[in-house]
C-alpha cells in the first residue's frame, strides 16, 4: 500500500513540472523541503539546502533581504510577490511567498515559489532602451522640423525685404 503524499510534497512535484523553484520554509526561515528545480538553481543537494536558512541559499546573506516576500508573508499571513535582481545568483527572479497555516490559523511557514525571469527582464530593458532611442529621435526630428519652419519664415522675410528694397 502506497503512503499518501503530503500536501507540501504534492506542491513540490507539481511546481517541478513547470520548472519553478519551490522551497518550503518554517517560521524561522529554515528550508524544510525543496524540489529538484530549486536544488538545480541553488547548485546544491537536498542535505545542503536543508542546513541553511532560505536567505543564505537564495541571497548568500546572513539576514533576509529588504524586499523579502517570505518575511511579509510570515508577518501578514497573506501571499506576497516581488520581482528582484538577485546578485548572488546573477538572475532576475519573481518570488512568490504563500502562507501555510496551522489548524488554529496561525502561520506556520511559507511555500516559496521562484521563477527565473532573467530573459524576460533583459527583453523588457531592451524595449525600454529602444523606446528611449525612438523618443530621442522623435524629439530631434521635431526640433529639426521646427527649425526648418523658422528658417523658411526667415527666408521668406529676407526675400520679401530684398524685393521691396530693389
Query: Which residues does 120 contact at the CB level (< 8 Å), separation at least 6?
Result: 92
Mean pLDDT of the chain: 86
45 vs 27, higher pLDDT: 27
Reported as a single tens digit per residue, the pLDDT across 58-76 is: 888 999 888 888 888 888 9
In 3-117, alpha helices (H): 7-16, 36-41, 46-49, 54-59, 69-76
Overall pTM > 0.95: no
Reported as a single tens digit per residue, the pLDDT across 2-44 is: 556 676 677 766 666 677 888 999 999 999 988 888 888 888 8
**Mean pLDDT on 136-141:** 91
Amino acid at each position: 500500500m502506497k503512503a499518501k503524499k503530503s500536501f507540501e510534497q504534492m506542491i513540490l512535484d507539481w511546481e517541478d513540472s513547470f520548472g519553478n523553484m519551490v522551497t518550503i520554509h518554517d517560521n524561522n526561515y529554515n528550508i524544510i523541503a525543496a524540489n529538484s528545480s530549486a536544488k538545480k538553481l541553488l547548485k546544491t543537494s537536498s542535505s545542503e539546502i536543508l542546513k541553511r536558512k532560505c536567505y543564505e541559499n537564495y541571497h548568500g546573506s546572513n539576514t533576509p533581504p529588504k524586499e523579502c516576500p517570505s518575511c511579509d508573508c510570515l508577518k501578514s499571513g497573506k501571499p506576497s510577490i516581488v520581482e528582484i535582481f538577485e546578485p548572488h545568483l546573477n538572475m532576475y527572479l519573481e518570488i512568490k511567498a504563500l502562507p501555510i497555516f496551522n489548524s488554529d490559523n496561525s502561520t506556520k511557514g511559507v511555500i516559496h515559489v521562484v521563477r527565473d525571469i532573467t530573459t524576460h527582464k533583459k527583453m523588457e530593458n531592451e524595449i525600454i532602451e529602444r523606446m528611449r532611442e525612438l523618443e530621442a529621435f522623435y524629439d530631434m526630428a521635431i526640433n529639426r522640423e521646427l527649425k526648418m519652419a523658422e528658417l523658411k519664415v526667415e527666408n521668406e522675410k529676407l526675400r520679401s525685404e530684398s524685393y521691396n528694397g530693389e
